Amino acid sequence: MEVSKTGKNLNIILLATDNPWMSFACWYSLNRHLPDAKILVALPRSPKIHLFRWLFRLSIPYCPYTGVPSKEQAIEVAKSREVSEPLVVSACAMAVKKLDLGSLEGISQDRQVWTLFDKEKIIPGLSQDCRVSGDFVFVSYKDSISYLTITDWEKTTYTEPFGLSYKLRSSINTLNEKKILDLWAEMASLYAFLNS
């Protein structure tokens, strides 16, 4: 079956980490740009499970896994839930536009989005780091976005950066960073409501 621009006939496994805001941002972007895709959140078994209130309040299907997020975990989740030919998206990647690709068999250049069909084939235009200019379906911010370093942010605060997205805007942001910051601003109030 052919996958539509809105994700019809597409199964997605969101490979979450124990970071609830990053996983929410990924889910929100998938739901916004690929509304017809079937999304399953692979959630790590963690004492931080209570921080994923949004997942339970929205009744999003999920499957717990043990260990660190990896390709092996995604394969295990796909087999246990009988998810056929999924597109696996890391929590640090966000969909910033609808699909416009002919083939989804392979892996993205930044290794944050991949399929389980052919693990080594690079799919140009699928995903790239947000600091790279270009037109991509998925954009990742694994290390940083604008001048915000994700690891430093997580060490200093337990809140999400959505409400501060306007402070991260600058004239040197790439188009992809701006797309992420726009989505963060858009989702700020929903995330706050779901976690209240």
* Domain around 29: 11-142
Q: pTM for the complete prediction?
A: 0.85
The reply to whether 51 falls in a domain is yes
Q: Does residue 53 lie within any of the structural domains?
A: yes
Rounded-to-integer distance, Cα 149 and Cα 36, Å: 33
- Tell me, yes or no, whether 46 lies in a domain: yes
Which pLDDT score, from 0 to 100, does residue 118 have? Answer: 47
Half-sphere exposure for 181 (CA within 13 Å, toward CB): 20
Q: How many domains does the chain have?
A: 1
Question: Does any domain span residue 5?
Answer: no
Identify which of 13-22, 42-51, 110-119, 123-132 has the greatest average pLDDT. 13-22
